[in-house]
Structure 1
Amino acid sequence: MSRFNVAPRAVMMVVCMWKVASCMRFDLESGHSKCITEDIKMNAMTVGKYSLINPNEGYPMPDDYKLTVKVNSPQGHNYHHSDHVESGNFAFTAAESGDYSTCFYVSDLRPPRTMVIDFDWRTGFAAKDWSSVAKKGNIEAMEVELKKLLDKIASIHEEMFYLREREEEMQKLNRSTNSKMGTFSFLSLLICLSVAGLQFWHLKSFFERKKLL
């Protein structure tokens, strides 16, 4: 493969990965909780939408079908908290980089029940509502696509810098660990030599007292 084809393919792979959003449906038994984490970089926009699935389609939702939802930052700051709701949404701009967690909790019921939850979590480029952008600006379809591509390129550029920063942090950590391991090895060797010297001195003194030397 020619080296000139590698970069475009890598960019396309990143673009395809960037389009993926955390859309999911999962089961949660009453009395239990489930947390979902997402690695979000600083200043990235994120939006989420969640709802309980009605087990009896065509009928009202049961009164005891309620959720408690919390969204916390890596440092434990709360960005969203809803108690005993059937559905909800959240949106914020990340003030710090790291793993953000969305935790769902269902109260203990008797008899126990399993509830189905729909959850859509989007960050960065995927969090933008381009339909509203086109509507507000009265922009033609081609212009919207161009704006999408420009925003996507900017997002990839920011992601590259973010990954580079994470790599530098890991390199610093590796260098620090190697330095500590080298110091520890040197001290271990010094201690071993000191113990061996003390043993030799003790044995020599013992044999001299016994007049064996």
Structure 2
Amino acid sequence: MAVRGKLVLVCILGVLICSCNLFMVSEAVWLNLPASGTKCVSEEIHNNVVVLVDYVVVSDNHSHIPSISVKVTSPYGNNLHLKENVTHGQFAFTTHEAGNYLACFWVDGHVQGSGDVSVNIDWKTGIAAKDWDSVARKEKIEGVELELRKLEGAVEAIHENLLYLKSREEELRSVSEVTNTRVALFSFMSLGVCIAVSALQVWHLKRYFQKKKLI
């Protein structure tokens, strides 16, 4: 019975670790930048989330790698990262505004006309952006204990996402209720105006016919 219990515990831990790894997958994006113009990637992120992004220009011609410019803005338009004339780089920040974060890439002016430029972007958020090697060294943990810490972080991230979705749902419900109230008031006002105009038209026609002695 003890052996069977240990096997069940190991299986449960294996499932939990696999689930944790699913939540820790980072998002890799390939962009083909035209010689002129800008391409952007964006993600809707809630408040107080760590974001870590690595980007690198990939070129078949290793003797000449074209340079690009990068600009990252917050939902309110604040500049979080701006680099020009680079072939690779990294930026990291903690979100202070909930909304759509935008990262735009374009080819530098002096290399335009050389065709499309490929850029690889490794976008990590939340627990995927956390340096677990440093955590393991600092807290002197490894193996299953480290995986359990990752799982704990994944559960916290899921809980925060659920709270964010709940708050967004409440905001949308509030906006919907306000909109419905305004539509109802506008409908009553429109009905009142129509009734008033109709009554005024009847009164005007009645006076007109009385003056003409038609009634």
Partner of 2:132: 130
TM-score, normalised to structure 2, is 0.85
Contact 1:29–1:112 (Cα < 8 Å) also in 2: no
| Distance verdict in 2 for CA 1:212–1:17, change over 3 Å | farther
Structure-to-structure mapping, 1:157-168, within 5 angstroms: 157-168=159-170
C-alpha distance in 1, partners of 2:190/2:169? 31
Q: CA deviation at 1:112?
A: 4.3
2:5 aligns to what? none
Cα distance 1:174–1:141, how it changes in 2: closer, same or farther (>3 A)? same
> For residues 39-188 of structure 1, what are the structure 2 equivalents within 5 Å?
39-56=44-61, 59-62=62-65, 65-108=66-109, 109=111, 111-188=113-190
Q: Which TM-score applies when normalising by structure 1?
A: 0.86
Q: How many residues align?
A: 197
Residue number in structure 2 paired with 1:196: 198
- Conserved? CA contact 1:44–1:94, under 8 Å: yes
Q: Following the alignment from structure 2 to structure 1, what is the Cα–Cα distance between the partners of residues 201 and 20?
A: 66
Aligned CA distance change for structure 1 residues 191 and 17 (closer, same or farther; 3 Å): farther
Q: Which runs of 5+ in 2 are unaligned?
A: 1-18
Hey, what's the Cα distance between the residues in 2 that align with 1:48 and 1:178? 42
Give ranges in structure 1 of 5+ residues lacking alignment.
Answer: 1-13
Percent of residue pairs identical: 39
What do the CA deviations read for 1:162-197 (whole angstroms, capped 9, x no partner)? 111000000110011001101110110011111101
The answer on whether the counterparts of 2:56 and 2:120 sit within 8 Å (CA) in structure 1 is: yes
